[in-house]
Structure 1
Amino acid sequence: MRSPLLSVTLSVLLVCLVGWLLVVGRSLILPFVIALIVWYMINSLAHLIQAIPIGRRHLPGYVSFSLALLVIFAAATLVLDVVTVNLTQLALDAPTYQKRLEELFGQFSSHLDLNDPLEMKDLFPDSVVPRMVTAGASLVTTLAGSASLVFIYVLFLVLEQSTFDAKFERLFSSPERADAAFAMRAEINRSIMHYFSIKTSVSIATGVLTSLVLIAIGLPYAALFGFIAFLLNFIPTIGSLIGVIFPSLLALVYYDNLGPFIAIASGLGLIQFTIGNLIEPRLMGSNLNLSGLVIMLSLAFWGAIWGIVGMVLCVPLTVMIVIVCARFEGARPVAVLLSQTGEVGPLPR
């Protein structure tokens, strides 16, 4: 009989091996993960469209799926175009904002009567603003470059999805085990669908309100900052904070007085606080059953492995781990430790 120490050692080695493979194979795995998300969104939207009654009937499955496919890819193309145009213009204006930021540092030093004036290079590397813009443009270019690979993955997923259930069922030696696996998959699907539907809705609301506030005050690149707020809202805790900092810093160097800066910082802060601390928790409830500390550790772990994509996916990936581990007696302690309350449901019979 295998000793507990040997089991723990093998488990640690397996986790280390999987983590190493996730890091080394990042360039190949990430496009496939993004394709899985897109494929999942297409199917979820197709089911939503099919559920809408048209008189006493509903749209056929192939029609609703085709509409969902068109909507997803049209939205992705539109967003990518808007972000690219805004980033291109921001890259042209970046040297001006860099100079303005250096002037603000000089004014701040003169007000404090510092013997050694504080310079921007003391806190940030040279040309920090152009470098940040270049990094953002590089990210968009990378996404656009991998779009063809993502599209190919999505195409094959769509073509073969009719065979997935039959293949999945044949993985198990008995119908009982297959039924248990299908039940676990359904639970994972419900939890992730619940999370993404609410998170997407509140993120869209956050992005739209952010753009409207910036348009009303007159700050440029409102659409870009709205998209950034939408994307960062998927990153727990720190995402909403960064979504307020970026446009506020631009307002600081774009205007000659502090009024617009205070208005933007307070307005966006109020939006993030209201949606993130009042509306979203009421809609989300306690269905995820994840500890706050676990979410932060998961954010750091997946962010270190997959960058921004990992940060966006850290919550659903952790939910999947909890649900799967709760179904096996040997891995059940892992699910208990990751959960918020320690209640992970009974073991399947």
Structure 2
Amino acid sequence: MTTERTIIVPVSILVAISVAVGLYFSAVIIAPIAGALFIIAIVWPIQSRLQRHLPQLAALAIVVTLTVAVFAVFGSIVAWGFGRIGRSLLADAPRFQMLYDQAANWLEIHGIAVTGLWAEHFDMRWLVRALQGVSSRLNTMVSFWAVVLVYVLLGLLEIGPVTRRISAALDGGTARVLIKGGSLTAAKLRRYMLIRTIMSITTGGMVYALATALGLQLAAEWGVIAFTLNFIPFVGPFIATVLPTLYALAQFESLQSAFVVFAGLNLIQFVIGSYVEPRVAGKALAISPFFVLFSVFLWSFLWGLFGAFIGVPIAIAGLTFCAQSRSARWLAVLLGASDNDGPEALSAKAGATDM
């Protein structure tokens, strides 16, 4: 028994590393499929209801059109907000460079020599290149989401046949876990996106109100950035707090004013992220904060910006399926799955969903 455990542990580690390497190098193939499955889980109830009154292809055309429209509106808002901020940063490049040089000199006077190393790699030219890199990544993301939409189109047509093939190919218990578990996962993902969207809108609105009240330039743009980045847990809110703070330091040229902006933004993020959202989400989406942070960093490393976004939905799906297996349920409970997600409650909860 001891020998078996001694072998299982290193083998499990090697398998995990192999899977991670495979996901990293196959991102161009696997990532669009993951994105498509996520979107299918969100829009399937609309497709299902439309199919009751319309031909399948007509219902599919309506759903795909709505999906593209949502992508277009969201993309336009993001491009407007980040574009305006980027142009403003480029226009004020000399001022930001001067402030950076002053801060570097002050730190060096106080014995923090590492700023000299920073100065060799960080200046406004570096910032310009970074902004250009962001623009290039946005163009790449457009192509990525176009591929995702193709998978969504095909996937919506295959839900019924795939369900029947699973039932025919697998034994009753396994098929039931896959089908019902997938239904429960889809329901959780829909709730996750609804709550995340509402909280993001609330965060963006409060950031806009705070920036307006404090006289910070580009208040609407900062609100848009806060709204957008709030879809990425931990990392997004951090960036949405740091960027306006640095901009406030350059605009007001006052540490006190920048600190007020920083404190106000952190208060907003804390109240919404640590108090309001957990109470709105309830136990159904309860996940260990450690596991959320781990998922965000892991998938962002594997798949970049898209991975940072999809990391938490993947974690939700993984924990939901673990909760259906009696041998893996301990992992789901340990990392925060609801007590009502076990095999005993699966039929009742999944039967109430549309997928």
In which range does the TM-score fall when normalised by the shorter chain? 0.7 to 0.9
CA contact (8 A) 1:302 1:310 kept: yes
CA contact (8 A) 2:320 2:337 kept: no
The match for 1:312 among 305, 309, 312 is 309
Provide TM-score, normalisation by structure 2: 0.77
Bigger RCO of structures 1 and 2 (CA < 8 A, at least 6 apart): 2
Matched AA of 2:165: R
Please say if 1:284 is aligned against 2:285: no
1:39-66: CA deviations, max 9, x gaps? 555546x47997xxxxxxxxx9568625
Change (3 A) 1:76 1:32: farther
What is aligned with 1:55?
A: none
1 or 2, which has the higher helix percentage?
Answer: 2
CA distance in 2, matches of 1:300, 1:331: 23
What is aligned with 2:72?
A: 74
The match for 1:339 among 336, 344, 347 is 336
CA contact (8 A) 1:87 1:224 kept: yes
CA distance in 1, matches of 2:27, 2:180: 30
Please say if 1:275 is aligned against 2:276: no
1:11-66: CA deviations, max 9, x gaps? 4333222111111223443344444445555546x47997xxxxxxxxx9568625
Shift of 1:188: 0.7
What is aligned with 2:192?
A: 195
CA distance in 2, matches of 1:149, 1:240: 24
CA distance in 2, matches of 1:152, 1:311: 19
CA distance in 2, matches of 1:48, 1:209: 36
Task: Report how many aligned residue pairs link the two structures.
Answer: 336
Please say if 1:170 is aligned against 2:165: yes
1:229-263: CA deviations, max 9, x gaps? 22332333343233212101111012233454244
CA contact (8 A) 2:248 2:258 kept: yes
Structure 1 residues without counterparts, runs of 5 or longer: 51-59
Change (3 A) 1:115 1:76: closer
229-238 vs 245-254, which moves further: 229-238
CA distance in 2, matches of 1:123, 1:102: 10
What is aligned with 1:327?
A: 324
The match for 1:251 among 236, 239, 248 is 248
Shift of 1:173: 2.9
CA distance in 1, matches of 2:155, 2:38: 16
Shift of 1:320: 1.4
What is aligned with 1:95?
A: 93
What is aligned with 2:14?
A: 13
Provide TM-score, normalisation by structure 1: 0.78
CA distance in 1, matches of 2:164, 2:302: 32
Question: Percent of aligned pairs with the same residue?
Answer: 24
CA distance in 2, matches of 1:292, 1:159: 35
1:138-165: CA deviations, max 9, x gaps? 1332232342342133134214412223
1:72-91: CA deviations, max 9, x gaps? 13313412431453254145
